[in-house]
Amino acid sequence: MAYTPQYGPGTSIVAENRRNQMNPNHDLEKIRDVTDEDIVMVLGHRAPGSAYPTAHPPLAEQQEPDCPMRKLVTPTEGAKAGDRVRYVQFADSMFNAPSQPYQRTYAEMYRFRGIDPGTLSGRQIVECRERDLEQYAKLLVETEMFDPALVSMRGATVHGHSLRLSEDGMQFDMLQRCVLSDDGVVKYVKDQIGVPLDREVAVGKPMDEEWLKAHSTIFHSLVGTAYRDDKEYVEYIVRVHTLRTKYGFMPKEE
């Protein structure tokens, strides 16, 4: 019988959303359109339209050592071309942001190739070859894993994920990289690290509260789904903790 991954436990909508984001066979709903040039501008690693700087010659032009792993693994487009390794980092608000740092890492590991994610409490960074990165970042911004108000691309000075939201519903950002304009559209005025952009980059309107609650991947007893309401999830985590605690005593399940 073929193995079918379960991705995670739980019967709540949060658990379902987590599984959907992780499952590469599930098509993430596309919510907004952001151009390639806009993504390149916000990432801030190279000028839009310029050639990709390289870290080494293209693989086709260099002599590869005789290595069985290299024969087994197909290089990504970025690796083939010898691109530099660059990053994108997202800060996700705890107030029902559609993705969360650990969730991002799980989802990206299932969906993308040639990545090196770094997971922290309020932010998640993913490093990979530049042209792969731009594709991945575009997918992460255009789909249901992003909300213009509660998720933002922040290379540095990321503080804000656990703070109360601002009056206009935006996640706090010391550098105010994106602003909610009068027409209700969130626009990036600075790149990831806080350098002002030549022109504003629109990333769409913030999603409403109902949508956020239905697409959240974080349990939150005050603004979303309470963790204790998902009995299966609690049972699973209790089992993990029990077995971990008893591990030194040769655990046996009863």
Partner 1 sequence: MTEARYPQCRIVPLRILGPDTAERLLNAVAGISGIRRLMINGPSLPATVPYGPARGKPNPNTNRRTITVGDTEVELRVQVGMLTAEVTDASVIAQIRRACDDIFTKFSYQLQEGQFMKTQATLTDYAKYGPDVDETFIGLVDPRRKETPVILQGLH
Q: Which two tokens stand for residue 249?
A: 């005593």
56 is a site residue for partner 1 (CB under 8 A)? no
Among 73, 120, 195, 243, indicate the residue that binds partner 1 (CB under 8 A): 195
121 is a site residue for partner 1 (CB under 8 A)? no
Helix (H, G, I), strand (E, B) or coil at 190: strand
**Secondary structure element (H or E) that encloses residue 80, with its range:** helix 77-81
State the Rg of the chain over Cα.
20
Q: Which two tokens stand for residue 194?
A: 């806080």
Q: Which two tokens stand for residue 85?
A: 């390794």
Q: Which stretch binds partner 1 (CB under 8 A): 9-17, 29-37, 103-111, 175-183?
A: 175-183
Query: In whole angstroms, how close is the CB of 181 to partner 1 at the nearest point?
Result: 11
**Alpha carbon distances (Å) from 182 to 38, 185, 187:** 20, 7, 11
Query: In whole angstroms, how close is the CB of 165 to partner 1 at the nearest point?
Result: 6
172 is a site residue for partner 1 (CB under 8 A)? yes
- Tokens 């792969």 correspond to what residue? 132
d(CA 51, CA 71): 28
Among 55, 59, 85, 193, indicate the residue that binds partner 1 (CB under 8 A): 193
d(CA 53, CA 219): 42
Query: In whole angstroms, how close is the CB of 151 to partner 1 at the nearest point?
Result: 18
Query: In whole angstroms, how close is the CB of 121 to partner 1 at the nearest point?
Result: 16
Q: How many CA atoms lie within 13 A of 160 on its CB side?
A: 25
Q: Which is nearer to partner 1, 79 or 201 (CB)?
A: 201
Beta bridge partners of 178: 188
198 is a site residue for partner 1 (CB under 8 A)? no
| Cα–chain center distance at 180 | 22
Binding mask 122-161 for partner 1 (x = CB under 8 A): ---------------------------------xxx-xx-
Q: Which is nearer to partner 1, 85 or 165 (CB)?
A: 165
Q: Which stretch binds partner 1 (CB under 8 A): 68-76, 131-139, 173-181, 240-248?
A: 173-181
176 is a site residue for partner 1 (CB under 8 A)? yes
d(CA 212, CA 74): 38
d(CA 15, CA 9): 7
Query: In whole angstroms, how close is the CB of 182 to partner 1 at the nearest point?
Result: 12
Query: In whole angstroms, how close is the CB of 132 to partner 1 at the nearest point?
Result: 22
164 is a site residue for partner 1 (CB under 8 A)? yes
d(CA 88, CA 210): 28
Residues that bind partner 1 (CB under 8 A): 155-157, 159-160, 163-168, 172, 174-176, 179, 193-196
